[in-house]
A and B are shown apart, each in its own frame.
Chain A
Amino acid sequence: MVKTLISIFIALGVLVGASLFELYYVQKTFSLLTEVLFTLHDKTEAQTATIEDGTAVRQLWEEKKDSLQIWLPHTAIQEIDYQLYEAVGFICVRNYENALPKLEVVLGMCENVPETYSLRLKNIF
Chain B
Amino acid sequence: MGLIFIRTIIVFITLLIVMRLMGKRQIGEMQPYELVVTLIISELAGIPMSDPSIPLLYGVTAILTVFLLHQIVCLLDLHFKPVRAIVSGIPSVLLNKNGIDEKELKKNSLDVPDLIESLRTEGYFALDAVDYALYEAEGTFSALPKVNYQELQKSLPVILITEGKFDEKNLSFTRRDKDYYLALLKKRGVKQKDVLVMTIDGNGRVYLQEHGKKYQIIELKWEKTLW
Contact A70 B64 (CB under 8 A): no
Known contacts A11-B64, A15-B64: A72-B55 contact under CB 8 Å? yes
Where chain A touches its partner, the secondary structure class is helix
Count chain B residues whose beta carbon lies closer than 8 angstroms to a beta carbon of A. 24
Does A28 touch B at the CB level, under 8 Å? Answer: no
Closest to A69 in B: B55
Does A14 touch B at the CB level, under 8 Å? Answer: yes
Known contacts A73-B53, A74-B52: A124-B7 contact under CB 8 Å? yes
Complex partner residue of A11 from B52, B57, B71, B78, CB under 8 angstroms: B71
Complex partner residue of A4 from B10, B52, B57, B75, CB under 8 angstroms: B75
Contact A1 B75 (CB under 8 A): yes
* Interface-side segment among A18-26, A32-40, A86-94, A99-107: A18-26
The A-contacting residues of B in range 1-46, CB under 8 angstroms, are 1-3, 5-7, 10
Contacts of B58 in A (CB 8 A): 73
The B-contacting residues of A in range 103-125, CB under 8 angstroms, are 117-119, 123-124
Interface residues of B (CB under 8 A from A): 1-3, 5-7, 10, 52-55, 57-58, 61, 64-65, 67-68, 71-72, 74-75, 78-79
Give 20 A-B contacts (CB < 8 Å), ordered by A residue. A4-B74, A4-B75, A5-B75, A8-B71, A11-B64, A11-B65, A15-B1, A15-B61, A15-B68, A18-B57, A18-B61, A19-B61, A71-B1, A73-B58, A74-B52, A117-B3, A118-B3, A119-B2, A119-B3, A123-B3
